[in-house]
Amino acid sequence: MSSRVPNIERPVLGGVVAILLTGCADSGLSELASYAERVMARSPRSLDPTPVIRQVDRFVYRAGDRRDPFVMDDQAAEHAAEQAVKVAQESRPSGLSPDPLRPKEPLEDYPLAALRMVGTLEQYGTRWALITSPEGTLHRVREGQHLGRNNGRITRIEPTELMLTEVVEKQPGQWARRRASLALNQ
């Protein structure tokens, strides 16, 4: 192969080289140089004095041998448990009443009328009711669980209905059982 470039390609090659060299021309450098001269000609501004930093006395925290105020010790925990039982016994009159120490379940935040039964399912011999809350969240409940604001305890789940027993206050301190149900919404 010959290292010579054909005659037609020489003018094209020369044009490409000329264009590339044009890109290296001094187009905006004069403007930049004049701006730099103007900035350098300005008189420098005086700086604000350095603020005085006050010396702070050193503090050493030495509470390692003291009790943590956020953790209840054994004696305080025992006293709190005794007080809770005492309050529960005093507030519960003899006879029927809801258990104030029982943790509330999520569906007890809603009135029974706001809940909707949308179906049932059976799994490993346990029948579950499918309940939707007013926000549209689907909950799965079974017999023995609670729902509604009147301490309702689920007693039976049928394919089309959920039965429960509510404990309602008739008069201050007097409680009564009442049957209620939630029918399947179709």
Q: Is 129 left (phi over 0), alpha (psi -120 to 50) or beta?
A: beta
**How far is it, in rounded angstroms, from Cα 32 to Cα 11?**
35
Of 2-6, 105-109, 172-176, which range is least confident? Answer: 2-6
Percent with pLDDT over 70 in the chain: 86
- State pLDDT tens for residues 77-135: 788 888 877 766 665 555 678 888 889 999 999 999 999 999 999 988 899 999 999 99
Q: Is the pLDDT of residue 1 over 90?
A: no
Supply the pLDDT for residue 74.
77
Whether the predicted model's global pTM rises above the 0.85 cut = no
Distance CA 85, CA 91 (A): 10
Work out the pLDDT band at 180, boundaries 50, 70, 90.
very high
Give the domains, in start order, of the chain with CATH numbers: 106-183 (2.30.30.830)
